[in-house]
Amino acid sequence: MTQIHVGPPPPRSHARLWISTLLLILYSAFVLLVTMWPQPEQLEFDSIAGRVLRALHNLGVPERFGYNELEFVANIGMFVPLGFLLGLALARKAWWLAIFLLPAFSGAIEFTQGIALDERVSTVLDVLSNTVGGYLGLLLAMILRAMIHARDRTMIERELWERRAAAAELQRQNAARAAARSSQPAYVRAEEPDPVTRVLDADFWETGDAPTVRIPV
């Protein structure tokens, strides 16, 4: 069998890492701006919350769903993108770091609010809601990465199946030609190349010699 030259592995794509890390930095800066603004009344949270509550009550949400409940839900929602982006930015084997980074980030925010910002209220409930939101985003990121990984494995397996099927077809064709030439003298027989080597050769698929193999559905 002819020796197959494998060559160096193809370079890895770092697009996911760079894009997710950039978005993570930008969104983290946004979260810090919102939570560390020394005068929260300038951000008009109360007026925005009042309009949101009126809209929710008009849509049928019970009146007992008030400002505290809305703040709890908003804290969850604010950390969902943070957990999602962190789950995409971390390496596949280091995703578990987000389990500690998310509550630590929220705890650092609440601690800073409690000791440095007089007009801010620091509570453990905020840390809990932020952590829940971060974990939800992390779960979504892990599901997305698992789906992409499964899709890539399926595409690779189908490509390998095509090449194995093509190699089997070449072996059958070579066997048929060898049987037809068995009665010819030895000096006119041409040595057939190894079919597996031909299939693995990148140029082989551009010559038009590759057999057509239909993938079963």
Q: In sequence order, what are the residues at sequence separation of 6 or more whose Cβ sits closer than 8 angstroms to the Cβ of residue 149?
A: none
Q: Exposed (0-12), middle (13-18) or buried (19+): which is 28, by Cβ within 10 Å?
A: middle
pLDDT at residue 216, rounded to an integer: 46
What helix, strand, coil percent values describe the chain, rounded to 5?
A: 70, 0, 30
Question: Which pLDDT band, with edges at 50, 70 and 90, does 89 fall under?
Answer: very high
Smallest CA-to-CA distance from 167 within 213, 136, 208 is with: 213
Smallest CA-to-CA distance from 165 within 196, 143, 193 is with: 196
Contact 27, 87 (CB under 8 A): no
pLDDT at residue 138, rounded to an integer: 96
Report the half-sphere exposure of 160 (CA within 13 A, side-chain side). 6
- Give the mean pLDDT of 74-84: 95
**Cα separation, 43 vs 11, whole angstroms:** 46
pLDDT at residue 167, rounded to an integer: 83
- Give the mean pLDDT of 22-34: 94
**Cα separation, 93 vs 86, whole angstroms:** 13
**What percent of the chain shows pLDDT beyond 90?**
33
**What percent of the chain shows pLDDT beyond 70?**
76
In the predicted structure, residue 23 carries a pLDDT above the cut 90: yes
pLDDT at residue 193, rounded to an integer: 56
Residue type at 152 in one-letter notation: D
pLDDT at residue 196, rounded to an integer: 55
Contact 133, 77 (CB under 8 A): yes
**Cα separation, 62 vs 57, whole angstroms:** 6
- Give the mean pLDDT of 62-67: 83
Q: Provide φ and ψ at 138, rounded to 5°.
A: -65, -40
Question: For the segment 111-139, what is each residue's pLDDT rounded down to a tens digit?
Answer: 998 888 877 878 899 999 999 999 999 99
Question: For the segment 146-162, what is each residue's pLDDT rounded down to a tens digit?
Answer: 999 899 888 888 888 88
User: Quick one: tokens of 10?
Assistant: 């193809």
pLDDT at residue 204, rounded to an integer: 55
Terminal-to-terminal C-alpha distance of the chain: 33
Q: Provide φ and ψ at 164, rounded to 5°.
A: -65, -40
In the predicted structure, residue 74 carries a pLDDT above the cut 80: yes
